[in-house]
Structure 1
Amino acid sequence: MTSQPDRGTRSVTVLARIADDRVEALRKTLREAGTPFAHVPGVHVVRLVVVEDVVAQVRPAVWRWKARLLDLVVHAGRGPRPDRLPHPYLLLTATVDGPQERFFAGMRALGPQADAIWEHCTGYPGSERAAGFVRFFVERSQRADYTFAGAPGGTVGELREAAGMRRRLAALAAEGNAGRVPALTTSGPAPVPQRPRAVVSEALRLGDIQGMVLRGFGHHHAAAHLFLRFAGPDAARSWLGELAPRVTSAAEVQERPNRALHLGLSHAGLAALGVTGAELDAFPDEFRAGMYAREAALSPGRGTGPWAAPFDRPGAVHAVLMVSATTREILDASLRELRAGTGPDAGVTVAGEIRGDRLLADRGGRRTFVEHFGFADGLSTPKIDGYDEGAGDELLPPGEFVLGLPDVDGDAAGRGIPADLARNGSFLVYRKLEQDVAAFRETTAAVADRFEGGAGDVAAALVGRAIDGSSLERCPVASHVRRANPLGTLPGGIRLSRRHMMLRRGIPYGPELPDGVPDDARERGLLFLAVVGDIHRQFEFVQTQWMADGNVFGRGGEQDVFTTAGGPGARVLVEGEPPAYVPIPRPLVTCRGGEYFLLPGLTALAALAGRTGR
């Protein structure tokens, strides 16, 4: 297993359930004893907070007139509803030097002082049992989406603000200890350590990384995704042994091949290949659970109700085989060849297939890729240090997308996952998003008379860009583009946004619906593919905190219209003089299924194929 680096400053977050009848006793202990853990060696900042059954959402005492006007429009003067928790929790947040296990061992050395606090939490073993003590905290540790500014640059006010933003814990506490801590936003994480470019470049083993991780194959205009199931480990490994050498590496991207092949494996797929239980348990919670189990939080109010085969039950898809090509003819030839190697005799069956095609249109005087609502797509993507040209905040550490390499925290991405499975791999977020083009056109037309530019301006306000992809002079605060990447508009500025970026590799599916043509009831939409190094911090954070929740943008329960919003009574506020509501009577986009996959490095694929039963 990859160990946590021994040096460097990192955040530690522990969320432990308090026994229901012990809250007042714990409060009394904290008032009298304070926080003794501040004396543990290597601690910069530490704080304990009791998270109660009801977490009030505090509104500012002083408002600017625009903020007060917006609050009156959105909330009608009523305060936001509280977030109700099923149980009280004790939250420990700290910034420490070295690995968290060292900090936990230092807490144990306090003996009775530690016991006096943690004995009020369920499952606490006491400080006398060294292994049990550390395990108690490791099991309740959460990967935090923040870093305290314990070094120069962070103020006491910022630290107190971060520790006080407890309402973000409501969703986690409702899940118990199985979830992870949503972000407690501060002025931003510590700066990414500067490394010599030559060292980072050397770390990117292009020949071992799947090609789609570093490039999107924009010259490929046709794609097909085959969803596979494995009948048994021996047959599946034999099939994988034949396939693995054909998977396209990042080293081949520069040659602009006319076809490409990539393979993703779900947690259920790794199990079907015979990966051991201990290895499977080392993967992050969200990957182990699978997207089906997470969808209730990702799509509030909908869950997996609209999902269709092959995603209609947990673990139904073991692998996704992604083929792309410059032409349909080349794609079809590749598919015939790949399908010939599957079937009941091969122990690998095709559970489903989706085809995608690039859509081209004239936008701003040039031919560009568009999605089904007509907007230019694929205009910007994060740059990777050591691979792309750029400087400063333009470049993200490679570990944001490639496991085993440094991420924005300076940690090795995917630490804890066995190296022979994780090294040079990535996580793939896969979602089939059906777009209701007729509903989108009806929605924008219904309020067109309230906008100077008519329906086009309505659409641009909802998306956050003009139809040709150009930026708006005043991008609406809660538009889709701004929710996906708030840039410097939220506390924490650009450093906060850097923590939640993804490499998008999607492609439209289904036929276009020309302007003026009635709804033909045919399926069309976007195959959303995102490459990340941390599913929770990157994809799930953006989906749950920025897309499905409007609080951070001052919009209460208002959701993004292109991911979760829509239905009776749903509406979106568009700023202006005066502001206007856009009703969303039915969903514009509906998720029809998805899964989390591992994109193993090519060496890892070969090793998986060569395993024998254990």
Structure 2
Amino acid sequence: MVALDVDNIQGVVLRGYRMAVGSYVFLKIENAVAGRRWVDRIIGDVTTAAPWDSKPNSAVNVAFTARGLRALGLRDSVLGTFSPPFLAGMASRAALLGDWGTSAPKHWTGGLGGPSVHALVWLSARTPRYLAQRLRWLDGTLADGGLAVVSTQPTALLKGQREHFGYADGFSQPDIEGLESGPRTGQGALAGKGRWRPVRPGEFVLGYPDEEGVLPDAPRPDSLARNGSYFVYRRLRQDVAGFRARLAQAARDYSGGEEMLAAKLVGRWRDGTPLDVCPASPEGKVARDPARNNAFSYADDPDGYRCPVGAHIRRVNPRESLPFDGKLVNRHRLVRRGLPYGPPLPPGAPDDGVDRGVVFTCFQADIARQFEFIQSQWLNDGNAFGLGEDKDVIVGDHRGAGKMTVQGEPPAFVHPLVRSVTVTGGEYFFAPGLNGLCYLSGLAG
């Protein structure tokens, strides 16, 4: 087992903070010397993956776009060693990702997808008071000039740690080999016959062996890349009133009722109980048990009678339901860190025009093989699952004609599908390890 350099890996890559409030602060680097000086100033405050004696009151993490690395003074010969999707940026990958129509980059907010977003400071805090303290700290680090705030995005956990459509969120994070985090409670890589083992760290952190037992492609030099991770940021606006109305309409023709249909769409009951484990009704004890709520593989449900083949969680993580005993799935795992933004819409209320949704973020070693593959091949295309052109019911780039099949005797169909989630911003970032931050702060201007 490879030992992880937890003192140099940014903590958010390996550990889910699940703090109550947070803020993403996007910065423009207007002067390279000032930018490097700022990086040097904040290194000591960046939260690492080192074990906690007790949970801190707040956490700080930082990442850079390709434009941001260039703005710091990174030479083109070094910048060119980063991955092509990162260098191109998310906005240029819109056609691949299904970001068209109202989700097209020309409609994105907060400067995202444009030339001014160079750095991201991600602040997390246990209470609004601690977050306010961290925001004042950040303002202090910017006082010398040379950097400017482009936009901010606040986040806050909703009651019951649910997202705006009403589902408990945050399940099925991969256990990572070499991370000392107590008993294994997540769902790692397939080890055969529904057994899970920790995923090798190179799937998420550069400089460590991946699932093939080799070091993933990484930028050079090693002092910059090692302990770093590619970071995907997507701001997703949720049409809560529309989703509720479409679910209620579809449930009128579904014998199982609205709550069962809601579970069939996602693959979990609203409390997080997995359908594959509890197909008839939710069980709170299963949902609250981190081991039991991931103890399934779909291997004995190939036709989707318990959990539909097109259910959201089955598409983003097919487990053992794809060929080769699901082993190829191990190469497409993500560390997800999504958080809601905006106030909840009260039950039964009409659309109030308020912007609400989720900030979806994920870490990986290879943007193309991991995030982009899942988005384009598993969410916006159904071929891998024998579903033709049918897209994911929750986040698919629907054009108003698709359907979702709910397997059964007889099967049911949810159609036509329209977008319930709109992309309103996104960027590709690189989150350096502390060694990488030191490299960047020491660049010669």
TM over 0.5: yes
Structure 2 CA distance for aligned equivalents of residues 276 and 496 of structure 1:
36
Q: Which shows bigger deviation, 230-239 or 258-267?
A: 230-239
Runs of 5+ unmatched residues, structure 2: 280-305
Match in the other structure for 1:554: 386
Q: What per-residue deviation string (whole Å, max 9, x for no partner) do you get for residues 456-479 of structure 1?
A: 222211111111111113110011
Task: Please give the root-mean-square deviation of Cα atoms over the aligned residues, in Å.
Answer: 1.8
Match in the other structure for 1:428: 231
CA shift for structure 1 position 573: 2.2
Structure 1 CA distance for aligned equivalents of residues 72 and 106 of structure 2:
30
CA shift for structure 1 position 243: 1.2
Q: 1:234 to 1:502 in 2, by over 3 A?
A: same
Q: 1:237 to 1:503 in 2, by over 3 A?
A: same
Match in the other structure for 2:261: 458
- Would you say 1:291 and 2:90 are equivalent positions? yes
Match in the other structure for 1:446: 249
CA shift for structure 1 position 417: 3.1
Structure 2 CA distance for aligned equivalents of residues 560 and 524 of structure 1:
20
| Superposition pairs of residues 212-227 of structure 1, within 5 angstroms | 212-218=12-18, 220-227=19-26
Q: What per-residue deviation string (whole Å, max 9, x for no partner) do you get for residues 480-501 of structure 1?
A: 1000010111112231111111
Match in the other structure for 2:66: 267
CA shift for structure 1 position 275: 0.3
Match in the other structure for 1:588: 420
Helix, strand or coil: the match of 2:332?
Answer: coil
The letter for the 1-side match of 2:377 is Q
Q: Is the 8 A contact 1:444 1:456 kept in 2?
A: no
Helix, strand or coil: the match of 1:251?
Answer: coil
- Structure 1 length normalisation: TM-score? 0.64
Structure 2 CA distance for aligned equivalents of residues 306 and 462 of structure 1:
30
| Superposition pairs of residues 187-586 of structure 1, within 5 angstroms | 197=1, 200-201=2-3, 204-218=4-18, 220-251=19-50, 253-299=52-98, 301-302=100-101, 304-305=104-105, 307-342=107-142, 346-361=145-160, 369-387=161-179, 388=181, 389-390=183-184, 392=191, 393-472=196-275, 473=279, 474-584=306-416, 586=418
Structure 1 CA distance for aligned equivalents of residues 170 and 100 of structure 2:
29
Q: Which shows bigger deviation, 450-459 or 513-522?
A: 450-459
Q: 1:551 to 1:264 in 2, by over 3 A?
A: same
CA shift for structure 1 position 555: 1.3
| Superposition pairs of residues 11-50 of structure 1, within 5 angstroms | none
Higher-Rg structure is 1
Q: Is the 8 A contact 2:94 2:105 kept in 1?
A: no
Structure 1 CA distance for aligned equivalents of residues 169 and 150 of structure 2:
30
Helix, strand or coil: the match of 1:429?
Answer: strand
Structure 1 CA distance for aligned equivalents of residues 58 and 112 of structure 2:
30
Match in the other structure for 2:302: none
Q: Is the 8 A contact 2:89 2:113 kept in 1?
A: no
CA shift for structure 1 position 253: 4.0
Q: Is the 8 A contact 2:78 2:219 kept in 1?
A: no
CA shift for structure 1 position 519: 1.1
Structure 2 CA distance for aligned equivalents of residues 305 and 215 of structure 1:
31
CA shift for structure 1 position 309: 2.5
Q: What per-residue deviation string (whole Å, max 9, x for no partner) do you get for residues 258-279 of structure 1?
A: 1000001111110000000011
The letter for the 1-side match of 2:129 is E
Bigger relative contact order, structure 1 or 2, given CA contacts below 8 A and separation 6+? 2
Q: What per-residue deviation string (whole Å, max 9, x for no partner) do you get for residues 85-128 of structure 1?
A: xxxxxxxxxxxxxxxxxxxxxxxxxxxxxxxxxxxxxxxxxxxx
Q: 1:300 to 1:512 in 2, by over 3 A?
A: closer
CA shift for structure 1 position 568: 2.9
Q: Is the 8 A contact 2:224 2:436 kept in 1?
A: yes
- Structure 2 length normalisation: TM-score? 0.87
Structure 1 CA distance for aligned equivalents of residues 93 and 146 of structure 2:
29
Helix, strand or coil: the match of 1:469?
Answer: coil
Q: What per-residue deviation string (whole Å, max 9, x for no partner) do you get for residues 545-568 of structure 1?
A: 100101111111111122223343
CA shift for structure 1 position 606: 1.8
Identical amino acids, percent of aligned pairs: 42
Q: Which shows bigger deviation, 301-310 or 370-379?
A: 301-310
Structure 1 CA distance for aligned equivalents of residues 416 and 112 of structure 2:
27
Q: Is the 8 A contact 2:177 2:200 kept in 1?
A: yes
The letter for the 1-side match of 2:434 is L
Structure 2 CA distance for aligned equivalents of residues 254 and 215 of structure 1:
14
Structure 2 CA distance for aligned equivalents of residues 584 and 359 of structure 1:
30
Q: What per-residue deviation string (whole Å, max 9, x for no partner) do you get for residues 332-368 of structure 1?
A: 111022123326x51111111000001123xxxxxxx
CA shift for structure 1 position 252: 5.0
The letter for the 1-side match of 2:45 is R
Q: What per-residue deviation string (whole Å, max 9, x for no partner) do you get for residues 417-456 of structure 1?
A: 3212101111111110111101110110112122233222
Q: Which has the higher helix share?
A: 1
Q: Is the 8 A contact 1:509 1:524 kept in 2?
A: yes
The letter for the 2-side match of 1:376 is A
Structure 2 CA distance for aligned equivalents of residues 300 and 564 of structure 1:
10
